[in-house]
Each structure stands twice: as C-alpha cells, then as structure tokens.
Structure 1
Amino acid sequence: MGLPEGNERRRFHGTKRACNLGDKGSTMLCSLPECSLCGIIKTSFKLSLAGTAHPWRRKAGRFGAGIYTSATSSKSNDYCKNLPSARSTCKAMLLTKVVAGNGEKLTKTDARRTGPSPGYDSVPRLLPFRYLNYDELVVYDEHAAIPAYLIMYESKT
C-alpha cells in the first residue's frame, strides 16, 4: 500500500464487560477479574489472556494467540458481550491504535501461530479470504496495540 514500516492503524476491538463502565455517569474502572474491558484499559492488552474472553471459541484464533482487531466495527461487535453483572442496555467497544509495521498477508488460517514469519510485524488479512467475512489485523506484541477510545453504543445483537 506504499506506507512506511511502523504504520499505525485505528482498529476496533470487541471484548466482554462485567461492569457498567461507560453507562450514564459511570466512569470508574472496576476490579472484577472477569471484566476484560477494564483490564485492557488499566494495563493494556496481555497476550497471556488472548482468547480467554470467549471460552466458546478456540483459545487461539484463526491466526494463533494474538491481539485481534478489525477495521469493521460489526466484526468486533461479535466479540462485545455484557456479562449479567453489567446490567446494561449498551455495549462497549474499544478503538485501538495498532502499529501494523510490515504485514504478512496470509492465504490460509493457522491457529498454531505465535507470531508473524521472520521479517514481518503483523498479520493483516484483507478480503477476499475463503474463511473470513471481514478483515482482521493481528499483532503478537503487547506494545503494538494501545486502547485509545471507549465507544458505547446500543445494539440489538
């Protein structure tokens, strides 16, 4: 795409929420261990927790244990979940700053990946792709993704 290495992208990230952070007047981060949203905001992303927010899915995603983001908000919405303790009609999503660097474009999934191939910094997968409906950008370095904005929205899904 003609962009220099180290290029930064803004991408959506969906996760689970156990509190009411972001709801009317609620601005305090919670300390509930099951609240991935507050955990990410407090300490940023942790690769050791990759995939634990959604136990019904494979622990590692289609491209291994990494930090998954998408330019498509509806893709990230699929991963936004309020736990019963949240008692909220709103959902929360993060808009992150992701340093893509030199992206390795893949032609097939590989859930065993622990990072991109040598010489690459991330795994961007853009459409068309046989097993993917939306684009994804996966980084394997915790410092390559920073939660920047909290987006609160109402959703019927």
Structure 2
Amino acid sequence: MSDVCLQCGYYAKDPAHTFCDKHCARDAANNAPSLIKIPRDHVMYNNAASAFYGGWNGTPPPIRTIYLVTWTQESRNEFEAYRDKIESDEDFIAMGKYAGNERKRFRGAERACTIGENGNVTMCYNGDCKLCETLREGFRSYLDLKRSTGYHGTRLGPGLYSTCDTSKAAKYAINKVPSNVHALMLCRVVIGHPYVTEREMPHLQQPPPGFNSVYARPGPSSHFNTDETVVYTSRAMRPAYLIIY
C-alpha cells in the first residue's frame, strides 16, 4: 500500500503527519484551502474508507472518490494550539490516546454545488452551500448560525455535532442541486474529556465544568439511537477528508 506524500508525490509521508516534511506541509498550507485526490491504493484512502464502511448501519454505498482537505497555516495553528492546551490539562498521550484525545468523526453538510464530482475541486461561494463554507473557513460561521437560530436541532445545545455512525451523518449530507452522488466530511475532532449522557440537554451552551465535549451514548434506555459527539468551540474541529459516494 502506498504512503507517498500527497504534496510532492515523491517521498514517503511522515507516519505521524499528513505530509513528508515541514516543507511540503508549508507548500500545502500556502495553497490551502484545497482538495487533493487520494489514490485508492494509498494508506490515507484505506483509513478513511475503512471508517466510512465500518460506520455505516446496513449495506454501505460504494465510495467514488476521497479527497484530503488542506488547511491554511492559521487554521492549523489554531487547531493544534487548542489540542495542545487540552492535552496539557489531561495528558491523554500517557493514557495511550492521541494528543487531546483527538478522534475522527463524520459530519454531513448541505452541498449546493458539484464539488467533489467529476473532478471538480473548486469551492463555491453560494450561501446555501454549507459544505464549501466549511471547507474554506472551518466551522465558526456554522456555529454562530447554530447559536442564533438552533439550525438543525439542539438536543445537546448549540454545538458542533459529529458521529462514528456514517449513515447518521449521511442524513445531513443533503444535495441542494441535482446530483448522483453525496459528499460527507470525515473530521478531526479534539474530544478531550467527554461528559457522557443518555439524556437530551438542550440548555447546554458549553460542556459541563471539568469536561471538553459531550458524548451522547446510545442504548436501550437512552434518548439517542446513535452516538453523537458535541464540541462547543470551532477550534476543536476541522474537516480532514471529503468522501464522495
């Protein structure tokens, strides 16, 4: 399986990082935000596809394409500073976890253009296209909308929702224009110390004291049929992959 750096296409990527070295990371940031198509035989494709298929409840649709989402240096710095702050408070690495208890979670968004299909990697500026808005700018604008209007529900308050359940996230991957495919984001999320609940808590504006996120645990007596993880700051989440299916 290939592990070539997707920026230079020559050296092997650093196992702990997206690219092979700081020079390729800088070049990618200078061209960000952008989408880089990932070859099917690449380790990053395999990781994202495994999460997609493994998280689908039922028979999953076939994946057409997977793209890597690149970030500006400013966006990366903000995310990593937040992650490192959470890590310094808890020392998740010593527990055998990633720094800041970072995980990958799925999230859907409305798509009002044809980004991702037929090789189109140009992000639009249509106000109805929440997908391109997120790919360009992150989740800050969406979180502001959520806080002011309750957009797409607030069962655990106005936060940023994500899930391991691909089919759950896919319900929000809504096409606003005719299309034969859908687009789903696989995000990097700094979960930190999660508050676990089986009850709706729509009053939440932030995690309970001492916690960094809220985890909705599904179960027979739970209000939730599927898992949901909620963070309440846009610094804690970034789109990492765009999966076209």
TM-score between the two structures when normalised by the length of structure 2: 0.56
Distance 1:53 1:78 in 2: 20
SS at match of 2:241: strand
Shift of 1:51: 7.7
The 4+ residue runs of structure 1 with deviation greater than 3 A are: 1-5, 51-55
Partner of 2:134: 40
Aligned partner of residue 149 in structure 1, secondary structure: strand
Q: CA deviation at 1:119?
A: 0.7
> Distance in 2 between the 1:93 and 1:76 partners?
8
SS across alignment from 2:243: strand
Contact 2:198 2:223 in 1 (8 A): no
User: Where is the strand percentage greater, Structure 1 or Structure 2?
Assistant: 1
- 1:12 counterpart residue number: 106
> What is the alpha-carbon distance in structure 2 between the residues aligned to residue 23 and residue 82 of structure 1?
12
Alpha-carbon distance in 1 for matches of 2:128, 2:200: 29
Tell me, yes or no, if the aligned pair for 1:16 and 1:53 is still in contact at 8 Å. Answer: no
Deviates more, 1:44-53 or 1:137-146: 44-53
Matched with 1:136 is 228
Alpha-carbon distance in 2 for matches of 1:121, 1:127: 19
The equivalent residue for 1:127 is 218
Which structure 2 residue ranges, 5 or more long, are not aligned? 1-91
Residues 1:73 and 2:157 are matched in the alignment: no
1:38 aligned counterpart, secondary structure: helix
SS of the residue corresponding to residue 168 of structure 2 reads helix
In 2, Cα distance between equivalents of 1:21 and 1:52: 28
Q: Secondary structure at the match of 2:230?
A: strand
Name the SS of the counterpart of 1:22 in structure 2.
coil
| Larger CA deviation: 32-41 vs 3-12 | 3-12
- After TM superposition, the structure 1 = structure 2 runs for residues 90-105 of structure 1, keeping only pairs within 5 Å, are 90-105=181-196
Offset, 1:108 = 1.2
Q: CA deviation at 1:152?
A: 0.5
Larger Rg: 2
| Structure 1 gap segments, 5+ residues each | none
Q: Which has the higher contact order (CA 8 A, sep 6+)?
A: 1
1:15, 1:53 within 8 Å by CA — same for their partners in 2?
no
Q: CA deviation at 1:127?
A: 2.3
User: CA-atom RMSD, angstroms?
Assistant: 2.2
CA positional deviation for 1:126: 2.3
Task: Give the SS at the match of 2:105.
Answer: strand
Q: Is the 8 A contact 2:198 2:217 kept in 1?
A: no
Q: Quick one: which amino acid aligns to residue 95 of structure 1?
A: L
* Change in 2 beyond 3 A, CA 1:51/1:29: farther
SS in 2 for 1:17: coil
Corresponding residue for residue 205 of structure 2: 114
- CA distance in 2 between counterparts of 1:51 and 1:69 reads 17
